[in-house]
Chains A and B, each alone.
Chain A
């Protein structure tokens, strides 16, 4: 059974940093691209960032470019999101989502999602 378990969320002041983690199990992690998708309270879904199976291709939404860094450790079956210079508008539930393919780019679904970890940016 595919499982994605996010952690690392919490309350943080504007301008500070936070690192999210996603522990994957139930599938061969290094066979698939992975993504982060967020959802602000009461709002819709927003793609944040994605990474190919070997970290060779990476992308970011314009709203986080230059502030967030995605990475993965295939030996640890883990995905990460380093979030710097956090803003109030980054407050959201952050989901880890699996791609059905190894490549970063492509017109595909996110076939498995974690339960999310809540990030609240407030003073």
Chain B
């Protein structure tokens, strides 16, 4: 089993760029795709990045994803921040060991102030 660790919270001003990290505790971050979900208060999660760096249709190109094998982490970058981006963000990956589980990070609260 592995864990995905995210910062508890980040904050940035409108128009700026923010990056949220997601560090895998064991095994290679590159061994399974990473997804990112946005969850606004009172709403269900929606995908903003899938398969490390792919954006679903309808998600603006201000959202981008990447992985870094040297730090064994994935990152979600949001540029040109808008107040509507204020939400919780969760990374997610898959444990392809004997467990065959889906693993979520603890979530990051993004405040746009």
Answer whether A and B are interacting partners. Answer: yes
Interface-central residue, A47, A62, A104, A107, by most chain B CB under 10 Å: A107
Count A-side interface residues using an 8 Å CB cutoff. 23
Task: List which A22-37 residues lie within 8 A (CB) of chain B.
Answer: 35, 37
Interface 1/0 per residue, B71-90 and A, CB below 8 Å: 00000000000000000001
Main secondary structure of the interface of A (DSSP, over half): loop
Q: Show the binding face of B for A, using Cβ within 8 Å.
A: 32-33, 35, 37, 39, 44-47, 50-51, 56, 90, 92-94, 96, 99-107
Contact of A109 among B50, B100, B101 (CB under 8 A): B50
Complex contact B101–A45 (CB within 8 A): no
Q: Show the binding face of A for B, using Cβ within 8 Å.
A: 35, 37, 44-47, 50, 59, 61-62, 95, 104-111, 113-116
Complex contact B47–A110 (CB within 8 A): yes
For A95, list chain B residues within 8 Å (CB): 44-45
Complex contact B96–A105 (CB within 8 A): yes
For A44, list chain B residues within 8 Å (CB): 90, 104-107
Contact of A106 among B44, B94, B104 (CB under 8 A): B94
The residue of chain B having its C-beta at the shortest distance from the C-beta of A100 within the complex is: B50
Interface-central residue, A45, A46, A113, by most chain B CB under 10 Å: A45
